Amino acid sequence: MFQLTESWYLVLAAMIFAIGAVGLMIRRNPLVMFMCVELMLNAVNLTFVSFSRALDDVGGQAVVFFVLVVAAAEVVVGLGIIVAIMRRRPGATADDISLMRG
Amino acid sequence: MRVEMLTFLLAGAICLGGALGVVLLRNPVHNALSLVATLFGVAVLFIAQGAYFLAAIQVIVYAGAIVVLFLFVIMLLGVDRTASLEQDPIVGQRVTALVAGLAILGLSLTVLLAGGEQVTGQRSALAPLGDGMADVNRLGRVLFTDYVFAFEITAVLLTVAVIGAVVLSRRTPGLPIDLDEFPEGPAVVHQPLFEDPAGTGEGPEGSDPADGADDGDLAAGADERDGADDGDLGDGDESDGADDGDDADDADRAADADSEVVR
């Protein structure tokens, strides 16, 4: 039987990160793109926790704490922007939102 | 070890299935629920690695707050239309995205597996995990000593994010900046809640009769005033005489006052 080391967690995190990156590139709904960004952040969190256990340092878990806070702030502001855009242009996709004004 | 392996395999399968669901499902509500599956799987993997506090706040913050916020926005905007994944807005976008995703996977695997423990090979001397302390105690001690400035900046960041969300979601009155960009106009037409107290904006029905009445009053008043002036011209001598008498009385009173002062 295989030995469960941190490499398994790292491989899984890399796969989740790659799936999130591909989703960010192929999806056009801004909400779903945000969800893909959350996937990538979670993959990085998993990597941090894995290295935290592998290197026996709690700093990785502290960084995960800050990543959670930054992700929450990012989602709040990003969803505010999306709501402001969707009120003016219902059904807008990422291709329609190409100007940083209006 | 077999239990840990089984836990890892189950949670990893849930994570990967949820991630694929986020990317491939077409209904945004299904995407959000798939994201919940991935977040719970990652929380299980946190617990399997001893990060109990992070697993708790992963479930509370992510699944309890962020995904609920996503669902609120989905319901608020009415995004019930399913996206079509078949059409490419850019030619070859999906193939390019898949190639780029595989490249990202390969590069990150190379970096993660080639690096890691072999960087120094030394155990941590500052904040080790295996000293028997509870997880929350260790994380709290690190947060309020080594990372205290980052913690303070986090508070500022959250405040700024809340203010920014309030400002962004406030409904701005008036037209958009460029009308050629939005030819159909704004979705919500701004109407004033209160009437103008000066009454200037009430429209032509309210203002025209008032102007006509003012004009008639002005003309009639001018005529009356002319007639009164004409009539008063003959009486001017009487009023002058009365004024003269009053002036004489005033002079007498002043003279009396002066004489009293002298006495």
Q: Does pLDDT of B168 surpass 60?
A: yes
On the question of pLDDT at B148 being above 90, the answer is: yes
Give how far B191 is from chain A: nearest CA, Å.
Answer: 16
The whole-model pTM stands at: 0.70
Q: What residues of chain A, 47 to 76, have a C-beta less than 8 Å from chain B?
A: 47, 49-59, 61-62, 64-66, 68-76
Q: CB-based contact (8 Å) between B126 and chain A?
A: yes
Residue of B nearest to A64 (CA): B54
Nearest to B23 by CA among B35, B8, B12, B11: B35
* Dist CA A49 CA A69 (whole Å): 16
Delimit the domains of chain A by residue range.
28-93
At B16-65, the pLDDT tens digits run 999 999 999 988 899 999 999 999 999 999 999 988 999 999 999 988 88
Identify the domain boundary among B27, B49, B82: B82
Query: Which CATH number belongs to the domain containing residue B1 in this structure?
Result: 1.20.120.1200
Cβ within 8 Å of residue B141, ≥6 positions away? B127
Mutation site for B-interface testing, chosen from A79, A93, A100, A101 by largest number of B Cβ within 10 Å: A79
CA neighbours closer than 13 Å in the CB half-sphere of residue B13: 5
Supply the range of the domain harboring residue B173: 147-192
Is B104 inside any structural domain? no
Nearest residue on chain A to B20, judged by CA atoms? A19
Residue, of B240 and A40, whose pLDDT is higher = A40
| CB-based contacts of B215-218 (< 8 A; 24+ apart in sequence) | none
- The predicted structure's pLDDT at residue A45: 95
**Optimal mutation site among A17, A41, A42, interface B, most CBs of chain B within 10 A:** A42
Question: Quick check: is B213 in a domain?
Answer: no
As a whole number of angstroms, the distance between CA A48 and CA B59 comes to 17
Residue B179 is given by DSSP the state T
CA angle A40, A72, B17 (to 5 degrees): 35
Task: Return the percentage of chain A with pLDDT > 70, whole number.
Answer: 91
With vertex at residue B2, the alpha carbon angle to CA A52 and CA B18, rounded to the nearest 5 degrees, is 65
pLDDT (0 to 100) of residue B91: 76
B37: which chain A residues are within 8 Å (Cβ-Cβ)? none
The set of long-range contacts for B62-66, using a CB threshold of 8 Å and a minimum separation of 24, is B62/A38, B62/A42, B62/A68, B62/A71, B63/B36, B63/B39, B65/A72, B66/A38, B66/A71, B66/A72, B66/A75
Which one of B154-158, B167-171, B172-176 scores highest in mean pLDDT?
B154-158
When pLDDT is averaged across residues B221-236 and rounded to a whole number, the result is 44
Confidence of residue B232 (pLDDT cuts 50, 70, 90): very low
Minimal CA separation from B208 to chain A, in Å: 38
Query: Taking phi first (over 0 means left), then psi (-120 to 50 degrees means alpha), and beta for anything else, what does residue B26 get?
Result: alpha
The residues of chain A scoring below 70 in pLDDT are 1-2, 91, 99-102
CB atoms near residue B16 (< 10 Å): 17
End of a domain among B192, B226, B252? B192
Please name the residue of chain B whose CA is at the shortest distance from the CA of residue A14: B105
Q: Nearest C-alpha of chain B: how many angstroms from A50?
A: 7
Identify the band that residue B192 occupies on the pLDDT scale cut at 50, 70 and 90: low
**Residue type at B15?**
C
- Residue B130, chain A, CB below 8 Å: the answer is yes
* Nearest-10 Cα torsion for B223, B227, B230, B234: -160
Nearest CA in chain A to B156: A73
Domain count across chain B: 2
Within B29-132, strands assigned E span none
User: Do B77 and B4 lie in a common domain?
Assistant: yes
Alpha carbon dihedral B240, B241, B246, B252, in 10-degree steps, equals 130
Q: Does the residue B88 lie in any domain? A: no
Cα B215 from Cα A36, distance rounded (Å): 71
B113 vs A47: CA distance, rounded Å: 11
Pick from B38, B46, B44, B45: nearest CA to B63: B38
Using the 3D structure, point to which of B59, B82, B105 is the last residue of a domain.
B82
* Residues in contact with B200: Cβ distance below 8 Å, sequence separation at least 6, in sequence order: none
Task: State how far the Cα of A63 lies from the Cα of A55, in Å rounded to an integer.
Answer: 14
Residue whose C-alpha is closest to residue B32's, from B59, B66, B82: B66
A5 in reach of chain B (CB within 8 A): no
Q: Please indicate, yes or no, if residue B241 is contained in any of the structural domains.
A: no
Domain presence at residue B91: no
Closest CA to B135 of A4, A53, A55: A53
Q: Is residue B246 situated within a structural domain?
A: no
Residue of A15, A56, A65 lying closest to B105 (CB–CB): A15
Q: Residues B94-111, buried b or exposed e (16+ Cβ, 10 A)?
A: eeebeeebeebbeebbee
Is residue B139, in this structure, part of any structural domain at all? no
Query: What confidence score (pLDDT) does residue B126 get?
Result: 62
CB A71 within 8 A of CB A41: yes
Query: Is the model more confident about B81 or about A82?
Result: A82
With CA atoms as reference, the chain B residue closest to A29 would be B83
